[in-house]
Amino acid sequence: MPIRSFILIITWIWAFGATGAELDKESITLQAALFKAYSANPAIAASQALADAEHAAIQSESFLEDPKVGLMRENNMSFMQMQQGPMDSISVSQQFKFPVKYILSNKSQSAKANQAEEMAKQKRLEVRTKVVSAYYSLYSVDRVLALLNAQRESLREIARIAETRYSTGGVPQQDEMKAHVEQTLLEKDTLMVQEELSTIQAALSAAMGDNSRKEIALPKEELKIPEVTIELAEIPKQIELHSREIKVAQFAVVESETQKSLSYLGYAPDFSLNYRRMLGSFGFQNAYSASIEFTIPLWFFAKQSNEVSSASSRAIEAQKKLESIKNDKTAEAKSLTAKVRSFKRVLEVYQTGLIPQAASTLNSSRASYRAGRSGFIELLDSERSLYNVRIAYYRILSQFTESLSKLEEIMGRSLSTLPFGEIE
């Protein structure tokens, strides 16, 4: 009975531990990871809140200022004034800018709001790049770790073969020792990859806005190589039509040019309408007064002229910045396009040539070593070659996906079969 109870307790502990380990993992697809990032990433939420704030300010920039209401009562009057009655009055005044200023202020704020909106979309693209890159990096490192574990088992098999042949005097003991050295080196590589895996896990969780600290588990199926859905040669030609950063700079030019026009209107007069009505005995006589005031740019040499100069310089800055961004993004698009094209060709070479050839070479080397027709060094070289080729394939897949997602980020549109999500 005690033995049965002990076995039952051990079984419960093992089951609970396994369940807890599964609960600490979260299996998620790339599409689900992007959806979670778009809805939970704080940087995206902050940029969208800024855009909403700028849009809400459009109407207030082109509306009248609050009117002023005043009340006047005259004290310490003379005897004759006291005979006539108190001279109390109420006044209302309203300021008006030169009418065109309202139109230009609205246009300037609209351009500023459009900038914020495009910046919010650009932030979503940046977060998407982080999620896609981290997801494929996690997939690649996970597969590399699986390959290292498989290589460990393969080395154990090779070590057993060496031990068997050594026991029969077929090979020197040095072969067995070399196999153990290779196993030790492999353990070191495995530890480094496990550390890399933890780093990528943290980066992906941060990009998704996930603070649960759950370990992210990938689906078991293999991730396909993303297919480019547009002619690569056409991508740099379309960057000015779709790039969010270029659109931000274009709206900045509109805002600066509008502010420049507003600065010239600083010479135009603003108005103030005033109405005053008497109270008391004078109120029965319908006594009132009305006036209009307007500003005179008397100090134009110190105010308006400097404002025009400042606004003109800012307009030049915005225009030159737009030209610089266009040049930089076009160059970056060309560079990334070349990388995507190169990585895609290299992946095809690995799939169709290097991996099958390395696998065939290893099988041949194992058979030759068992038969005593080749040495242990040749077998180890074949073993390393196969696993290094497979590991390099996953590393290049990660680099290919990172370059492709970065290219989609600066282009501001989907260019491949990678999930894109809602950016607009």
**Cα–Cα nearest to 128, from 416, 408, 415, 411:** 408
CA 240 to chain centre: 20
| pTM exceeding 0.85 | no
Q: Is 376 exposed, middle or buried (CB count within 10 Å of its CB: 0-12, 13-18, 19+)?
A: buried
> Contact at 8 Å (CB) between 19 and 95?
no
CA-CA distance, 46 to 30, in Å (whole number)?
A: 23
Q: Is 417 helix (H, G, I), strand (E, B) or coil?
A: coil
Determine the pLDDT at residue 29: 87
Mean pLDDT by 10 residues, the chain (424 residues): 40 41 64 89 93 91 87 67 65 90 92 94 93 92 86 71 60 60 77 88 88 78 86 84 92 94 90 84 66 86 88 94 93 92 92 85 74 66 80 92 93 88 64
The β-bridge partners of 293 are: 272
CA-CA distance, 73 to 313, in Å (whole number)?
A: 51
Q: Is 402 helix (H, G, I), strand (E, B) or coil?
A: helix
CA-CA distance, 391 to 235, in Å (whole number)?
A: 31
Q: Is 26 helix (H, G, I), strand (E, B) or coil?
A: strand
